[in-house]
Amino acid sequence: MANKETDVDVLIIGAGPTGLGAAKRLQQTKQASWMIVDSNETPGGLASTDVTPEGFLFDVGGHVIFSHYKYFDDCINEALPEDTDWYTHQRISYVRYQEKWVPYPFQNNIAVLDKEEKARCLDDLIEAALEARVRAPSDKPKNFDEWNIRNVGNRLNKIFMRPYNFKVWAVPTTKMNATWVGERVAAPDVKLLTRNVILGKVAGNWGPNSTFRFPAHGGTGGIWIAVAKTLNQKRTRFGVHGTVTRTDAETKKVYLKDGAIVNYGSLISTMAIDSLAQSMGDVKLQQMCTPLFYSSTNVIGIGVRGQRPGRIGDKCWLYFVENNCPFYRATIFSNYSPFNQPEENVKLPTKMLANGKKPTSSAAQPGPYWSLMLEVSESSYKPVNHETMLGDCIQGLVNTSLLEPEDEIVSTYVRRFDHGYPTPSVERNGVLAEALPYLQSKDILSRGRFGAWKYEVGNQDHSFMQGVEAADNIISGGLELTLNNPDFVNTRANTERRLTGFKITKETGK
């Protein structure tokens, strides 16, 4: 029996934000036939949400919604249109340092450090500012470590930027480029910082995520499940029916696990570009991608019985630079939505106490409950002991005062993602300048967090719009601003494209 073949103008591999953005745009314009495939039964990709057997929700990493694009806002508001679908939060974020909670970003809030440390940091900040005044514009930093020294001075780089970024990226800052930084890292205003130190004043909220939204139900993954439901379901193949086994770029065929074959005119791939090279069996592309570096992410969830402690309050996420805990970030996930954990009347047994001891009773007891979500990076530079990681993280929560030794843990969650962070390494830009055009010459657009390997445009809104703009490029040669101009899209609200004005209807699929 011959394999079933399907012909489409555009095939989309991956139903994370990028793939869903491409499908949404193609459905809207109605100028090309399309199909979207994904090996997972549930859409969302790296922006999905898991639920523990006890009923605690944990995103597969720290995700919040903040946007640079009106089109993105329109699409998620169409999928989740009610006010009750969302919670809006003001970011309350701190860095744990020497048993203090330093307001984020650390480098803007040295006013809370002790006098000796403030003086050291200011000395180096002023020296860095004076050196910058006489530096030629053509003298660019060679790597991220040098960028940090030039912008925050040696002392702040030593006590925070260098160790913290290694903890996040699992690669030395000397091996990262400085072109990705943009809005991701705050460069201090030395005059304002000096004034704040003298006055003992904390800086205001900084950055694009100072206000963010979070879905009431289903975690971050709930957004993408809702967006996927707005698509023509006849054009989606998820699970075994959407699992790609091989891509033949010469004949423009994609082979699926269930035996089906999809013939395409253009391909939008949101697979990691190194995985795509393997799928294609393209030795040349594999060699191009060899210098690309990435870190793996371990997500650890902890469900706790009891009222949320006053010391936790309304904190959103917290950063950790020191070695008394393995995680670089902790999110108070229960603060994002009251539906991220079981209701108070749900009875659960205690698995363990935070000090590692067994509970005195194995009987199920009611709540209330709250939860923490932790992230631990991993790479060849920074290996992780997976057998002890959960216990080490719980001990780290005690060490950093997020948990008390007698706190009752009722649920735990551990999940590892091989491709966690696409590292903006020193070699990255050169690799992408060769690999992405090479693929495009074969009518393949590799886009998304790992498809394009650009962390600076790897948030949910960026990734979604990479898909939208890839679709526009295929249909009409539209510019891909997000991929090619990260600084531009990150410094302005993108309003030139709106969902409104088009009649969105479900296609017949005929």
- Looking at the fold, whether 274 and 372 belong to one and the same domain comes out as no
Q: Residue 204: inside a domain, yes or no? A: no
Phi then psi for residue 154, to 5 deg, are: -65, -40
Boundary-marking domain end, from 397, 421, 445: 421
User: Which tokens hold the place of 464?
Assistant: 């979604």
Q: Residue 92: inside a domain, yes or no? A: no
Q: What CATH number is given to the structural domain containing 415?
A: 3.90.660.20
The rounded distance, in Å, linking the Cα atoms of 479 and 457 is 15
Instruction: Please write the tens of the pLDDT for every residue from 168-221.
Output: 999 999 999 988 875 455 567 788 878 878 877 776 655 555 788 899 999 999
Q: Residue 458: inside a domain, yes or no? A: yes
71, 426 Cβ separation under 8 angstroms: no
pLDDT of 502: 40
Q: Residue 58: inside a domain, yes or no? A: no
Q: Residue 505: inside a domain, yes or no? A: no
Instruction: Please write the tens of the pLDDT for every residue from 312-353.
Output: 888 888 999 999 999 999 999 999 999 999 999 999 999 999
- Beta bridge partners, 93, equal 317
- Looking at the fold, whether 26 and 126 belong to one and the same domain comes out as no
pLDDT confidence tier of residue 137, bands split at 50, 70 and 90: confident
Q: Residue 362: inside a domain, yes or no? A: yes
Instruction: Please write the tens of the pLDDT for every residue from 238-289.
Output: 999 999 999 999 999 999 999 999 999 999 999 999 999 999 999 999 999 9
The three-class DSSP label of residue 222 is helix
The mean predicted confidence, pLDDT, of the chain is 91
- Looking at the fold, whether 301 and 391 belong to one and the same domain comes out as yes
Query: Which amino acid does the sequence have at 52?
Result: T
50 burial level (CB within 10 Å; 0-12, 13-18, 19+): middle
Higher pLDDT, 203 or 20: 20
Q: Which of 46, 503, 463 shows the shortest CA–CA distance to 268?
A: 463
pLDDT of 206: 53
> What DSSP assignment string belongs to 347-407?
-B---EETTSPPPS--S-B---EEEEEEEEEE-SSS---TTTHHHHHHHHHHHTTSS-TTP
Q: Residue 94: inside a domain, yes or no? A: no
- Looking at the fold, whether 398 and 432 belong to one and the same domain comes out as no
Answer whether residue 489 shows pLDDT above 80. yes
- Looking at the fold, whether 161 and 224 belong to one and the same domain comes out as no
- Looking at the fold, whether 359 and 463 belong to one and the same domain comes out as no
- Looking at the fold, whether 298 and 392 belong to one and the same domain comes out as yes
Strand order in the sheet with 100-103: 100-103, 93-97, 317-320, 329-331, 369-378, 294-305, 408-422, 352-353
The rounded distance, in Å, linking the Cα atoms of 328 and 319 is 6
In the chain, the N- to C-terminal Cα span, in Å, equals: 25
Instruction: Please write the tens of the pLDDT for every residue from 351-404.
Output: 999 999 999 998 999 999 999 999 999 999 999 999 999 999 999 999 999 999
The rounded distance, in Å, linking the Cα atoms of 36 and 8 is 10
pLDDT confidence tier of residue 503, bands split at 50, 70 and 90: very low
Query: Which amino acid does the sequence have at 303?
Result: G
* Angle formed by the axes of helices 17-29 and 70-79, nearest 10°: 90
Phi then psi for residue 437, to 5 deg, are: -65, -35
- Looking at the fold, whether 328 and 440 belong to one and the same domain comes out as no
Q: Which residues contact 275 (CB under 8 A, 6 or more apart)?
A: 419, 450
Q: What CATH number is given to the structural domain containing 10?
A: 3.50.50.60
pLDDT of 496: 58
- Looking at the fold, whether 288 and 303 belong to one and the same domain comes out as no
Number of Cβ within a 10 Å radius of residue 251: 9
Instruction: Please write the tens of the pLDDT for every residue from 62-108.
Output: 777 778 899 999 999 999 999 999 998 888 889 999 998 998 888 88
pLDDT of 105: 84
Domain range enclosing 128:
106-135+142-199
- Looking at the fold, whether 379 and 458 belong to one and the same domain comes out as no
- Looking at the fold, whether 159 and 274 belong to one and the same domain comes out as no
Question: Is the bond leading into 105 cis (omega within 30 degrees of zero)?
Answer: yes
Q: Residue 164: inside a domain, yes or no? A: yes
pLDDT confidence tier of residue 504, bands split at 50, 70 and 90: very low
- Looking at the fold, whether 392 and 428 belong to one and the same domain comes out as no
Q: How far is C-alpha 359 from the geometric centre of its chain's CA atoms?
A: 36
Question: Is the bond leading into 43 cis (omega within 30 degrees of zero)?
Answer: no
Instruction: Please write the tens of the pLDDT for every residue from 409-454.
Output: 999 999 999 999 999 999 999 999 999 999 999 999 999 999 999 9
Task: Please count the structural domains in the chain.
Answer: 3
Instruction: Please write the tens of the pLDDT for every residue from 300-317.
Output: 999 999 999 988 888 888
Boundary-marking domain end, from 421, 451, 479: 421
